[in-house]
Amino acid sequence: MSVRVPAKVNLQLGVGPLRDDGYHDLVNVFHAVSLFDEVTAEPADALRIAVEAAPGSRVAIDGVPTDDGNLAARAARLVAERLGVRPGVALRIRKAIPVAGGMAGGSADAAAALLACARLWDDPAAPVLAQSDLLELGAALGSDVPFALLGGTAVGTGRGERLAPAAARGTFHWVFATADGGLSTPAVYAECDRLRAERGGDVPWPEASAELMAALAAGDAKALGAALTNDLQPAALALRPSLRAALDAGRALGAIGALVSGSGPTCAFLAETAEHAADLAGALDRAGVAAQTLAAYGPVPGATVI
């Protein structure tokens, strides 16, 4: 059973004040884009994971765990537990989503493993697990996993796991500039809290941007580019100052929107058309401000059996 699953970019990442449980309330406008990992599940005598770069991809997979540190393994165990079966499965993960790049590649693989194992083990005539059950299991794994199942464009609240589909008209064209090495998501949130404490004052509760939602509904790329926001971006730039050069270069080369994707270090640039995206990717490559540039479009569907 093989499942294809997309990367995401956060069009808005609003981060509320630090809660007593150590989390933050978020408003997270997710947008699924056409960079895909593929997870194949086959019956096996035990749970095993193999990871490889997708054909033609330059994704570095050295740091991707092949044990229970991989969310896909935990996803398989959750499905097995819910269905009352032994978690005997070989998972082969082919990666084209940048690793540790703020595009939820690990969460995407977990979502794909949930769907693949459910299809592998569930009774097709009388399935136990509906999509709502998979979304529940995904939320137990991580804040970004439910969206990877759903895809499209959606507003996430809570820790990001409570999703409401968002109206998005047409297709938007993107360029993603990756960086060497990753950024720790907990470290970026901690730096965000530190910067806010240093600045002082109350942190407002986040709300979905009316301008951004209107731009999506209208299919207006220029208005969307102007409305992109990420409350974690100052922290990511503080921890990795070189990202500022990539953002500045993208804007100077004609991007109509630019921001750090999620907790970084990938930078996302919005283009006006597919041709503009191809030109922008080439120009960023020549500028030497990124390890790799990738053109993509969105929105696209979530985890899909292929």
State the catalytic residues: 8, 144
The tally of CA atoms less than 13 A away on the side-chain side of residue 280 is 32
Helix (H) or strand (E) holding 211: helix 210-218
Report phi then psi at 39, rounded to 5.
Answer: -120, 125
Report phi then psi at 227, rounded to 5.
Answer: -100, -5
- CA dist 306 and 304 (Å) reads 6
Length of the chain in terms of residues written: 306
Q: Answer for the pair 117, 76: CB distance below 8 angstroms, yes or no.
A: yes
- CA dist 36 and 54 (Å) reads 9
Helices (H), the chain: 71-83, 105-121, 131-141, 145-150, 185-199, 210-218, 221-227, 233-239, 243-252, 274-287
Q: Answer for the pair 50, 67: CB distance below 8 angstroms, yes or no.
A: no
CA-to-CA separations, 304 to 34, 115, 148, in angstroms, rounded: 13, 8, 10
- CA dist 70 and 49 (Å) reads 9
- Residue 34, both tokens: 């056409």
- CA dist 245 and 101 (Å) reads 17
